[in-house]
């Protein structure tokens, strides 16, 4: 009993550290990647004792800056709610990482430990619910600020997120029909199989349309630039107009956390999670026959590595998208959500159902 509690505690701490560290350095990745895309160098001045290391200390410098800023609450705002909003939006995003499997279950000291904080049997629903609950942070922040622009931003945010929840949910229905489970670990297990005995049975291979809808809806869910209606840096300042210092930092951090959670979800649901193509528990087994055998620890390391690489790739892709495309207008966002993604998601469900029925 004590050992179980300890294991869960260690897993929680590890998962949280992984997520927060990744989010911290994603701020650096975002600055550097955008710079490299635009033929610039990017933040490289932050140094510790003269060691610059490509500006890798920049996130810490930013954090120290945020810490020392004034924790300002406007006079007409509602203090408790004003404080609660960033905490809520941070919490709901951070908690959704518990459902993501980081690797295959390992055997340690006679126990089987799944590399996943909580193996929920309705993990897909849990993650969707938590990402939807994040709306409360935005809504409350807009309301508590008692600022017109913040309120407009938060209402826009609520409208956008609720609209795209529909598309996001529909895009996953097809996937759940193919891999008949709502548990993320089961879905990843199913994706270890092979299609026609050769192609890895990843979600994106079976559900390409579903992935397209999922990716667009998820990008909108992170509310970063092509879909930055709630923030709208260039028109209204958005729901964190009245926030400064650490509270604003928490909002910004939540954005990066959302990017990571979305990347982890896309990896888990559509790109095989921790599966490495043709890697079985005993080692590689290529479709053309043969393949080296590997000890189980090497297999686990490869799988955890593969999960991390896929997540990093999706983070990279999202930053690329954010710095490539101009932002939508509000009505265009709504059009894309309701007139394109929802019908496409429904079509995907229909098509999947037909294929499953005929087969």
Partner 1 sequence: MIKAWLVVKELLRGARITSRHFFVNMTFHTLRLFGVKTKRRGAVTIQYPEVRKELSPRHRSLHRIRPRDDGKPSCVACMLCVTVCPSECLYVEAAEDPDPEVQKRPASFVVDLNRCCFCGFCVEACPVDAIRMDTGEIRLAARGRADLRIPLDKP
The distance of Cα 330 from the centroid of its chain, to the nearest Å, equals: 23
Rg of the chain, C-alpha, whole Å = 21
Residues in the chain: 359
Q: Does 162 participate in binding partner 1 (rule CB under 8 A)?
A: no
Stretch binding partner 1 (CB under 8 A), from 2-10, 35-43, 135-143, 281-289: 35-43
Look-up: residue for tokens 């350095």? 25
Query: Which CB sits closer to partner 1, 181 or 321?
Result: 321
Q: From residue 71 to residue 110, what is the string marking binding to partner 1 with x (rule CB under 8 A)? A: ----------------------------------------
Interface pick for partner 1 out of 36, 64, 198, 293 (rule CB under 8 A): 36
Interface pick for partner 1 out of 6, 10, 13, 37 (rule CB under 8 A): 37
Stretch binding partner 1 (CB under 8 A), from 10-18, 28-36, 168-176, 297-305: 28-36
How many residues of this chain interact with partner 1, rule: CB under 8 A? 14
Interface pick for partner 1 out of 21, 40, 208, 355 (rule CB under 8 A): 40
Alpha-carbon distance of 74 to 81, in angstroms, equals 12
Alpha-carbon distance of 160 to 170, in angstroms, equals 16
Stretch binding partner 1 (CB under 8 A), from 32-40, 123-131, 136-144, 264-272: 32-40
Query: Which CB sits closer to partner 1, 21 or 41?
Result: 41
In this structure, are residues 292 and 283 in contact, taking their beta carbons and an 8 Å threshold? yes
Query: Which CB sits closer to partner 1, 17 or 324?
Result: 324
CB-count exposure of residue 354 (10 Å: 0-12, 13-18, 19+):
exposed
SS3 at position 107: strand
Stretch binding partner 1 (CB under 8 A), from 38-46, 110-118, 151-159, 196-204: 38-46
Query: Which CB sits closer to partner 1, 9 or 320?
Result: 320
Query: Which CB sits closer to partner 1, 52 or 148?
Result: 52
In this structure, are residues 137 and 86 in contact, taking their beta carbons and an 8 Å threshold? yes
Helix crossing, 208-221 with 245-270: angle to 10°?
A: 180
What CA dihedral angle connects 253, 256, 258 and 261, to 10 degrees? -120
SS3 at position 146: coil
Look-up: residue for tokens 């705002």? 77
Alpha-carbon distance of 204 to 211, in angstroms, equals 6
Name 194's bridge partners.
Answer: 200
Interface pick for partner 1 out of 19, 26, 28, 33 (rule CB under 8 A): 33
Stretch binding partner 1 (CB under 8 A), from 39-47, 64-72, 113-121, 252-260: 39-47
Q: From residue 295 to residue 334, what is the string marking binding to partner 1 with x (rule CB under 8 A)? A: -------------------------xx-xxx---------
Query: Which CB sits closer to partner 1, 37 or 309?
Result: 37
Is the torsion defined by CA of 57, 44, 86, 222 positive or negative? negative
Residue 64 CB, nearest distance to partner 1 (Å)?
23
Residue 116 CB, nearest distance to partner 1 (Å)?
32
Stretch binding partner 1 (CB under 8 A), from 34-42, 182-190, 246-254, 347-355: 34-42
Q: What is the 3-state secondary structure (H, E, C) of 266-301?
A: HHHHHCCCCCCCCEECCEECCCCCCCCECCHHHHHH
Q: Both tokens of residue 317?
A: 């892709």
Interface pick for partner 1 out of 7, 8, 12, 35 (rule CB under 8 A): 35
Contact positions vs partner 1 (CB under 8 A): 33, 35-41, 320-321, 323-325, 340
């Amino acid at each position: 009993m004590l050992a179980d509690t300890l294991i869960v505690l260690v897993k929680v701490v590890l998962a949280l550290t992984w997520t927060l560290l990744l989010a911290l350095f994603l701020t650096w990745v975002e600055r550097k990647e955008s710079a490299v895309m635009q033929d610039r160098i990017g933040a490289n001045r932050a140094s510790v004792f003269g060691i610059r290391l490509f500006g890798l200390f920049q996130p810490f410098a930013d954090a120290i800056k945020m810490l020392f800023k004034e924790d300002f609450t406007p006079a007409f705002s509602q203090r408790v709610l004003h404080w609660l909003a960033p905490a809520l939006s941070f919490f709901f995003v951070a908690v959704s990482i518990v459902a993501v499997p980081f690797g295959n279950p390992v055997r340690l000291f006679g126990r089987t430990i799944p590399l996943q904080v909580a193996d929920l049997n309705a993990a897909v629903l849990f993650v969707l619910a938590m990402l939807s609950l994040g709306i409360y942070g935005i809504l409350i922040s807009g309301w508590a600020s008692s600022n017109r622009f913040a309120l407009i931003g938060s209402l826009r945010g609520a409208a956008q997120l609720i609209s795209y929840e529909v598309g996001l949910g529909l895009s996953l229905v097809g996937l759940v029909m193919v891999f008949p489970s709502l548990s993320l670990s089961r879905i990843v297990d199913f994706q270890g199989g092979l299609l026609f005995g050769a192609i890895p049975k990843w979600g994106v291979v079976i559900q390409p349309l579903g992935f397209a809808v999922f990716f667009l809806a998820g990008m909108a869910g992170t509310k970063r630039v092509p879909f930055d209606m709630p923030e709208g840096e260039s028109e209204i300042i958005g729901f964190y107009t009245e926030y400064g210092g650490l509270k604003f930092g928490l909002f910004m951090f939540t954005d990066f956390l959302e990017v990571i959670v979305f990347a982890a979800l896309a990896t888990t649901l559509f790109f095989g999670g921790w599966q490495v193509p043709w890697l079985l528990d005993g080692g590689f087994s290529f479709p053309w026959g043969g393949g080296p055998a590997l000890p189980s620890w090497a297999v686990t390391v490869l799988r955890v590595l593969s999960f991390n690489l896929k997540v990093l790739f999706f983070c990279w892709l999202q930053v690329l998208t954010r710095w490539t495309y101009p932002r939508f207008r509000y009505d265009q966002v709504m059009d894309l959500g309701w007139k394109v993604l929802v019908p496409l998601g429904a079509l995907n469900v229909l098509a999947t159902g037909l294929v499953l029925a005929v087969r």
